[in-house]
Amino acid sequence: MGNGFQNRVSSLGIVGAAVDKGQPKDGVQNGPKAIRENGLIGLLKKLIDRLNQILKAYVLLTLYYSMLDAKVNDYGEITQPKDSEPDVILNCENQRALVKTTLELTECVSKSVSENDMTLILGGDHSIGIGSIAGHLKTFPNSFVVWVDAHADINTPGSSESRHTHGMPLSFLLTQTSKLIPQTQGFENIKPVLEANQLLYIGLRDVDLPELKFIKELNIPYFDMHDVKRLGIQNVMEITLKTIMRYCPNCHIHLSFDIDGLDPKYAPSTGTPVPGGLSLEEGKYICRTLGQTGRLKSMVVAEVNTSLGSAEDATVTVKSAQEIIKSALLLD
């Protein structure tokens, strides 16, 4: 699927999604800012520039490979108005804000993936998965989604007990489950764009019974944490790559990484931590393996909430987020 050295990106788009209304805990909307203010963009520019110089030297020696000057293009942040009135429509809290943000994010991500080798979307709660994937698939419909998360996020408004939309993004996206969502009150503007055979889960360990039923009925491949420990992350990723190849040997990949996919030891500052998760090295291995394919076109990092836990917890979580990003970009 590609050579890791040659597949480092030459242009990176960054989209902030300062979204918090898909869940009840304040602070997750500051995730993009926290990651940025801890030097991510400056670090990426420095690392990409350094690697670009290495690649140029490599070109002079081999006359084999060329690369344009690396660029980091920041598309700013999509936000939700703080004064927006809460609403509950069809068992979804803050549905109007969800629709507005989703449509804006879809257009922004679509623009970025069309203009850059790779797009990084910084959340924000994981309801941003709807607009992020919709935007990617708007430009590259024949793509595959790898979803790293402690949770399946495939509840429908009808099956959800919490009414929080950060637990529903995939049900809006999948053609097979979206039919269970009434197309009223703005929902008609969110179109299903994903088929079940375009999706694979890694890291599951807190899945609701209705979600498990959907996953099994739709035959969505998944690796829960029992599978990860039993098989080892290297074997998990070998199977993942074979699954992607069976879907389409040349398709682009979208990686959606909820930071709670990591064990709370490595990501304590998140809204719904679940013990027994991925180690940081396992998370980095997932990202690096997908990056090495040369087909990783976009990546979400969601649910970093530095308002939760101690200052040390926040620092650990932000650092973990930065580490998995660097691995996906082959900059570690």
What residues form the annotated binding site for Mn(2+)?
126, 149, 151, 153, 258, 260
207: Cβ contacts below 8 Å, ≥ 6 apart? 151, 152, 215, 224
As annotated, the binding site includes 126, 149, 151, 153, 258, 260
Dist. CA 47–CA 39, nearest whole Å: 12
Q: Which amino acid is at 107?
A: E
Q: Assign 255 to helix, strand or coil.
A: strand
The three-point CA angle 272-276-281 to 5° equals 100
95: Cβ contacts below 8 Å, ≥ 6 apart? 87, 88, 89, 165, 185, 186, 187
Taken as a whole, the chain contains a residue count of 332
DSSP string spanning 55-119?
A: HHHHHHHHS----PPPEEEEEEEEE--TTPPP-EETTEETHHHHHHHHHHHHHHHHHHHHHSSEE
Q: Which amino acid is at 232?
A: G
